[in-house]
């Protein structure tokens, strides 16, 4: 698939790179597999669409991804190579062999416990390094994780990542500002800026999905999914997959706490528990046990209106009580 308005084609040469074929196309950019004519190595070339270059917000996202990818050096994070002598705007990235975690989940639905834990430990390790460099990914999801043949992982797409101390950015589209509805944290739903604890929440959602084959919250549209996350408890993972131990379910719950302060303090802590599940204490969770009770925004709104309607009657009763006792 060739994106509209894209002037480059497979077979073209872009500066010192020969474009071989198109491997991905999105609303923002087209990614080519290419060959570095100097080194002979395969690389990936990400070329923004012309309309992105003219959109300050989208172009800033492209620049941010490049800056973070150039700065962070970790085997679990896709490298971006500095390339100051360009004749046009594009990004040169390492070529990764493998498949997206999303593709694996689409094929397998859910993963064996051992494999899910192994993948999550790798994701935690890479994410801990990202956080140590003052960056929050803010859009962790299976679509942004590459898995190689040995189940090694690479985090990709830092387009809406945030660096500590950076100015807050506002985007025109929901998915560009907050992430994907299935994986964003409750605080992001409430309009707060995502941080490292928001990434921990996304880890919990992904682990839930890898273990059970479904995401913990659902709805007919993104806003219904977000409301479900704020109002209801997910089906306990062990209800969907009995092979999940109580300790592993506890790890999922700790990562997915509604209040950020109650989650794992770091991805490293979560990885430790995944690797030492015999040390994990299982907490009593009364709220989680009420997962069959489903609330809706409409019900909450009706209760609010009913409460407001009762205020005049309560005030009248209070005045009547006072008048009778004077």
Contact 238, 247 (CB under 8 A): no
Report CA-CA distances (Å) from 2 to 24, 49, 53, 167, 202: 9, 11, 18, 35, 32
Start-to-end C-alpha separation, the chain: 83
**So which residues are the catalytic ones?**
139
HSE-up of residue 34 (Cα within 13 Å, Cβ side):
30
Residue where the block lists tokens 């991905």 = 24
Q: Identify the CA nearest to 139 among candidates 177, 170, 101.
A: 177
Strand (E) or helix (H) holding 168: none
Asked if 49 and 5 touch (Cβ cutoff 8 Å), the reply is yes
């Amino acid at each position: 698939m060739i994106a509209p308005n894209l002037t480059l084609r497979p077979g073209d040469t872009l500066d010192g790179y020969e474009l071989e074929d198109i491997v991905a196309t999105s609303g923002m950019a087209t990614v080519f597999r290419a060959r570095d004519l100097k080194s002979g190595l395969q690389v990936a070339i990400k070329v923004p669409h012309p309309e992105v270059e003219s959109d300050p917000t989208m172009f800033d996202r492209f620049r941010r991804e490049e800056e973070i990818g150039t700065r962070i050096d970790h085997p679990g994070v896709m490298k971006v190579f500095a390339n100051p002598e360009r004749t046009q705007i594009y990004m040169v990235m390492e070529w990764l062999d493998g498949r997206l975690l999303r593709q694996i989940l689409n094929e397998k639905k859910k993963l064996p416990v051992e494999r899910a834990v192994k993948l999550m430990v790798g994701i935690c390790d890479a994410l801990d390094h990202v956080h140590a460099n003052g960056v929050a990914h803010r859009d962790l999801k299976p679509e942004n994780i590459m898995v190689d043949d040995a189940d090694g992982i690479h985090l990709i797409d830092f387009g809406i990542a945030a660096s500590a101390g950076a100015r807050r950015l506002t985007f025109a589209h929901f998915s560009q500002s907050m992430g994907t509805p299935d994986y964003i944290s409750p605080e992001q739903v409430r309009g707060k800026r995502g941080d490292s604890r928001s990434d921990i929440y996304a880890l919990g959602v992904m682990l839930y999905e890898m273990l059970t084959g479904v995401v913990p919250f659902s709805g007919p549209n993104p806003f219904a999914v977000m409301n479900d996350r704020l109002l209801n408890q997910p089906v306990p993972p062990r209800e969907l997959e009995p092979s999940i131990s109580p300790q592993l379910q506890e790890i999922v719950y700790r990562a997915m706490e509604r209040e950020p302060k109650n989650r794992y303090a770091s991805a490293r802590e979560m990885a430790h528990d995944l690797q030492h599940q015999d040390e994990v204490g299982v907490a009593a969770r009364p709220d989680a046990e009420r997962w069959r009770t489903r609330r809706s925004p409409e019900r909450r709104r009706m209760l609010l209106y009913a409460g407001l309607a009762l205020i005049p009657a309560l005030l009248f009763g209070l005045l009547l009580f006072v008048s009778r006792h004077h």
